[in-house]
Amino acid sequence: MYVILVYDVHQKRVGRMLKLCRRYLNWIQNSVFEGAISELKLKELIFEARQIMDESYDSIIIFSSRNERWLDKQVIGLEKNEIDQFL
Amino acid sequence: MYVILVYDVHQKRVGRMLKLCRRYLNWIQNSVFEGAISELKLKELIFEARQIMDESYDSIIIFSSRNERWLDKQVIGLEKNEIDQFL
């Protein structure tokens, strides 16, 4: 499946969340990630994210699509992840 | 069409960008919006966003799908737009 993940977590927890998400997905902007991921891996990511989050304060939204073809992506302005693709 | 919009703009321009995006879409988290929008209205939104942005610094990413059914949404932690829906 193909997912877009956005998080909004307290600044204290941003570093750990960023590191976690980058292990599973591609960083594309600020607190936004995308990528192809299996259902199992996504469950793993959510499980690990829950260890980091304060669920009464932080929030993660995951949009998922069974097929990447169903989603178009358009970037206006600066494409921020150009370097990230090579890491 | 159905879109997810995420922006990353300089703090100086956040207020104006937020206000603009809320005129066209539903705010769901931090700098993330979603909603059904016509192609024409989306072009209008992009045109207006470009007036606000510094395109060498700011960035907007728009994911679009012809059909909302093709996208699942899952929220972990706090659902931040609960109030927004009534505004």
Tens digits of per-residue pLDDT, B17-48?
Answer: 999 999 999 999 889 999 999 999 999 999 99
E runs forming strands in A1-87: 2-8, 26-29, 32-36, 59-65, 72-77
Radius of gyration of chain B (CA): 13
Nearest neighbour of A78 by CB, restricted to B32, B59, B78: B59
The pLDDT of residue B87 is: 45
Is B82 buried (19+), middle (13-18) or exposed (0-12) by CB count in 10 A?
A: exposed
Nearest neighbour of A73 by CB, restricted to B61, B75, B80: B61
* Residue that wins the pLDDT comparison between A87 and A61: A61
A84 lies in some domain: no
Question: How many domains are there within chain B?
Answer: 1
Q: Report the residue of B45, B51, B59, B65 to disrupt the A interface, i.e. the one with the largest count of A CBs within 10 Å.
A: B59
Residue B26's CB is within 10 A of a number of other CB atoms, namely: 15
Is the Cβ of A80 closer than 8 Å to some Cβ of chain B?
A: yes
Predicted complex ipTM: 0.84
Q: What is the mean pLDDT of chain B?
A: 90
Nearest CA in chain B to A2: B71
Nearest Cα of chain A lies from the Cα of B33 at a distance, in angstroms, of: 11
Q: How far is CA B69 from CA A8, B24, B34, B61, in A?
A: 25, 20, 14, 21
Cα separation of B19 and A83, whole Å? 31
B17 lies in some domain: yes
Domain residue limits at A26 = 2-67
Nearest neighbour of B29 by CB, restricted to A8, A50, A79: A8
The pLDDT of residue A75 is: 93
Q: Judge whether A6 and A60 are in contact, CB under 8 Å.
A: yes
The pLDDT of residue A87 is: 45
Contacts of A21 in chain B (CB under 8 A): none
Residue B33 Ramachandran class (φ > 0 left, ψ -120 to 50 alpha, else beta): beta
Tens digits of per-residue pLDDT, A34-52?
Answer: 999 999 999 999 999 999 9
A13 lies in some domain: yes
Is the Cβ of A10 closer than 8 Å to some Cβ of chain B?
A: no
pLDDT band, residue A84 (cuts 50/70/90): low
CATH code, A62? 3.30.70.240
A72 lies in some domain: no
Cα separation of B59 and A64, whole Å? 22
Is the Cβ of A23 closer than 8 Å to some Cβ of chain B?
A: no
Is the Cβ of A71 closer than 8 Å to some Cβ of chain B?
A: yes
B27 lies in some domain: yes
Q: How far is CA A33 from CA B18, B47, B73, in A?
A: 21, 25, 14
